[in-house]
Chain A
Amino acid sequence: MGNQTLYEKIWSDHVVATPVGEPTLLYIDFHLIHEVTSPQAFDGLRLNNRKVRRPDRTLATADHNVPTDPISTPVNDPISRRQLEALDENCAEFGITLFPRGHENQGIVHVIGPELGVTKPGMTIVCGDSHTSTLGAFGALAFGIGTSEVEHVLATQTLPQQKAKTMSVTLEGKAPKGVTAKDIVLKIVSTLGTGGGAGYVIEYRGEAIRDLSMEGRMTVCNMSIEAGARAGLVAVDETTIDYLRGRAGVPDGEEFEKLATYWRTLTSDNDATFDKEVVINASELVPFITWGTNPAQVVALDGVVPSPDDFSDADSKDATARSLEYMGLEPGTPIKKIPVDVVFIGSCTNSRIEDLREAAAVAKGSKVAANVRALVVPGSHRVKKQAEEEGLDKIFIDAGFEWREPGCSMCLGMNPDQLSPGQRSASTSNRNFEGRQGRGGRTHLVSPVVAAASAIKGRFATPDEVA
């Protein structure tokens, strides 16, 4: 038996060159592109008369600023429209497959790769978006990059990279009933802090991780960056392989089994050691919510808004006071007494079919509270279609939710789906930063089931409160 971690295995499989005194040159198997972080990279290529080295390893979709109104509605914002057109033009010029707005394969960039089976275990995958870490759920090394690096990968299909340190985060034991993948990752982020994972690649391990579906594992890996880690990983097992079987991007029959045999090797060896090891007792987990303006500011749904006095160091006291002021919250207020204005179910964290099934099961037969606007934004057209085949759209619409077209939507408010100043949201997205969902908006991160229950009660609530 060897003693390599999964990260080290994938890393060593992709080393192109190790120049003395320089970072390793790493090969990138797959590059995903969207409209926001790519136009300046394509301009750079044109300026230097460079080509896209491997269009066959590059895939583009429109997601960040597409409206989620019916497809027949034009893109009214001229700046957004121009950016979407630029993506069309750039992909046509450089020969890159593109799923534009309305295309059957279009959706959030981190949702479409897995559902099409084109992002595979063992690959190195990058995208100009920090939530590329989502794809690590498949035992792939996937991380977000900036626009200069997007240009670098387009031109060379490689990236100069410093090797990261390794961290294991082990969820020991079983998560109690009612605890979702989102609750697990909120606990992880609050345990590590927003900078705790900086410089590391995290491998998520343990029974409560193994018990998760692929959708759940993607939710956990998605928010690795919220703990400061560029990438998160889950080792390949039969759950991974079963998810991939039959997808558009994978072969059938014997060829698939051959691939699966390789994929099963993508685990950390028994004797592997990590630079840092963190253990969390899964049996003590409960539904969680963020109360502040960074994703490590987490409290139980059954808890109360914390006070600056709960912290000993001046920095945390100050940050807490500032967050409370922005969020318009008083210390000691029970979370479940805080009213909600907007509920958003969507984003690369929680917009896959399983998320929608869980939320629909809570919403079924109930009504969204008066004065609450509730949106459901499927992660992709394929998710939307499948949900409609299962009748989930009817459940949501009957309950008073808006059933919208796919995209990043209110997660970052680049399209018209935004909070107004002072509005408070229960959001299944990943960032509760100031102004993230709209200027002056107040974001609380929750799981899809808590979001659905909160829509119905008109305040933060857990599913058991919905009759």
Chain B
Amino acid sequence: MKAVHVIQGRAVPLERSDVDTDQIIPSDWLKRVERTGFGRGLFSEWRDSPEFVLNQEQFQGATVLLAGPRFGTGSSREHAVWALMDYGFEAIIAPSFGDIFRNNSSKQGLVIVELPSSDVEELNILVKGNPALQLTIDVERLTVEVAETGWQRTFTLDPMTRERLLNGWDDIGLTMLRENEINTFEKKSHSPTLNGIFDASGHSAR
């Protein structure tokens, strides 16, 4: 994945809680075998409405999404992350996130910023007042800043996620460096495999 140091851009206030991954990208989009092109399906149940915040002219081109609590709960579909990134989002700021969604984001370089509800609300008000405001999210310093108003907060990321973002490391490559340890583990493991259970066509051998 691409290394991420600083994200600078405008933000769009979604102002909804419990936005599950079915709402981020409906299941109809999950039939595709590609990894790209999901941006068109982002929030597709809401996109038809001209009032929907993503359709408002002043928020076009925003790269930071401000969301309510429990963003990304539900299904494990990584398509939700692909859709958000394909649309152009680089970071999501919300009071809390679904666990699997958070994991999936970290693998793709979508920056997850958890801030208290009151802080997200302050950002919503700032951005609605002036949609042109620039937010700066610094992954190195773990800060969110609105330079124009002097608003600044810090956030936390687990150290490894931060390292991976800053270096753009590929998780699989890192694990493959531990080949010897995996081999050692497998030699002592008694956990049963599928060997002997099914024949070549998948029918039960016994």
- Interface of A toward B, CB cutoff 8 Å: 16-17, 19, 21-23, 25, 27, 29-30, 36-37, 39-40, 43-44, 48, 50, 53-54, 56-59, 64-65, 77, 79-80, 82-83, 86, 97-99, 103-105, 116, 118, 120, 122-123, 128-130, 144-149, 151-152, 155-158, 160, 162, 194-195, 198-199, 225, 228-230, 248-249, 293-294, 315, 318-319, 322, 412-414, 431, 433-436, 439
Contact = CB atoms under 8 A, between A and B. Distances in A.
Contacts of B33: 39-40, 43, 82-83, 86
Given A23-B160, A25-B178, A36-B30, A230 B191 contact: no
A27 B194 contact: no
Contacts of A229: 99
Contacts of A16: 178, 181-182, 185
A151 B175 CA distance: 12
A319 B98 CA distance: 18
Contact of A97 (B69, B96, B189, B202): B202
A47 B44 CA distance: 30
A431 B17 CA distance: 16
Contact of B172 (A152, A315, A433): A152
Contact of A434 (B45, B68, B100): B45
B76 A228 contact: no
Contact of B31 (A65, A195, A431): A65
B45 A145 contact: no
A210 B16 CA distance: 39
A40 B117 CA distance: 35
B86 interface: no
A29 B191 contact: yes
Contact of A294 (B18, B172, B193): B18
A128 B100 CA distance: 10
A80 B31 contact: yes
Contact of B189 (A27, A37, A79): A27
A152 B171 contact: yes
Interface residues of B, number: 62
Given A57-B193, A129-B76, A412-B27, A294 B99 contact: no
A19 to B, nearest CB: 8
Interface stretch (B58-66, B101-109, B127-135): B101-109
A82 B202 CA distance: 22
B30 A64 contact: yes
B96 A435 contact: no
Nearest to A91: B202
Contacts of B32: 79, 83
Q: Which of A21, A58, A99, A147 has the most CB of B within 10 A?
A: A147
Given A65-B31, A195-B70, A198-B96, A439 B45 contact: yes
B100 A77 contact: no
A160 B81 contact: no
A17 B175 CA distance: 10
21 contacts: A21-B160, A37-B30, A39-B33, A43-B33, A57-B194, A80-B31, A83-B32, A86-B33, A99-B202, A105-B198, A105-B204, A130-B100, A145-B76, A146-B81, A147-B78, A158-B178, A225-B74, A248-B206, A319-B18, A431-B22, A435-B45
A434 B23 contact: yes
Nearest to A249: B197
A241 to B, nearest CB: 15
B119 interface: no
B202 A434 contact: no
Contacts of A53: 182
Contacts of A414: 27-28, 30-31
Contacts of B124: none
A128 B76 CA distance: 7
B200 to A, nearest CB: 9
B107 A148 contact: yes
A118 B198 CA distance: 11
A198 B18 CA distance: 13
B55 interface: no
Q: Which of A19, A123, A194, A230 has the most CB of B within 10 A?
A: A194
B60 to A, nearest CB: 25
A294 B178 contact: no
Nearest to B158: A162
A158 B192 CA distance: 16
A294 to B, nearest CB: 5
